Chains A and B, each alone.
Chain A
């Protein structure tokens, strides 16, 4: 158990809809990262937050947004969903944003868009 909690585990929704994925980092971790994993693209970095502030952005679509709250949990919002957004979404946390700090991943939210 990594200590990172992601909810829900599974989500099935229709095209055009909006969903929110939630992540609770390990106790004491200030950094949260979001990744998307699809069969054809592998693990893609989306965004990194440190102590409530956005640190880095990857290949995150404009239809997607994220935030980290004062209690350090994070939410990833996906809107105007398309079939191609079906994927596993992972959250990871680390003590800080330092290159030397390992990332601890949750078990993901599997999103299916129909």
Chain B
């Protein structure tokens, strides 16, 4: 599986935007970029995913670089509830033995200050 690189930790203030970066320089043309987050004492939660174009949903926005070697998850107004570990994951659409599964890295620990 292609690897992703994320900062170990980031901090933000409540109600401010947060930009969480992810580098994936070895991404292949068939890899989708997925973001999940894990709140304390809970299972991971799906946030957003995309292939080439920027994506928006009710939780966040995903900005994908033109060369697809990096992406940024944008939380428009951070709340205390957004404090979590955020995982950037490449998911292979070409099938094979990696079909469907997610491979988690270490993620970014986001701290939100009141």
Contacts and interface: CB of A to CB of B under 8 A. Distances in A.
Nearest to A44: B104
Contacts of A31: 100
A58 B41 CA distance: 24
Nearest to A88: B43
Contacts of B32: 99-100
Nearest to A46: B101
B106 interface: yes
Interface stretch (A64-72, A78-86, A90-98): A90-98
B103 interface: yes
Interface string B79-109: 0000000010001110101111111111000
Given A42-B106, A99-B32, A99-B91, A2 B99 contact: no
B43 A97 contact: no
Residue from B43, B45, B103, B105 having most chain A Cβ neighbours under 10 A: B43
B44 to A, nearest CB: 5
B68 interface: no
A19 B100 CA distance: 27
A31 B49 CA distance: 19
A9 B26 CA distance: 39
A43 B44 contact: yes
Interface residues of B, number: 25
**Majority SS at the chain A contact face:** strand
B44 A97 contact: no
B42 A45 contact: no
B105 A107 contact: no
A56 B97 contact: yes
A45 B100 contact: no
Given A55-B99, A99-B32, A42 B45 contact: no
Interface of B: 32, 34, 36, 41-46, 49, 87, 91-93, 95, 97-106
28 contacts: A2-B45, A4-B43, A31-B100, A33-B101, A35-B104, A42-B104, A42-B106, A43-B44, A43-B104, A44-B104, A45-B101, A45-B102, A45-B103, A48-B100, A50-B100, A56-B97, A56-B101, A92-B44, A99-B92, A99-B93, A99-B100, A100-B93, A103-B44, A103-B102, A105-B42, A105-B43, A107-B41, A108-B43
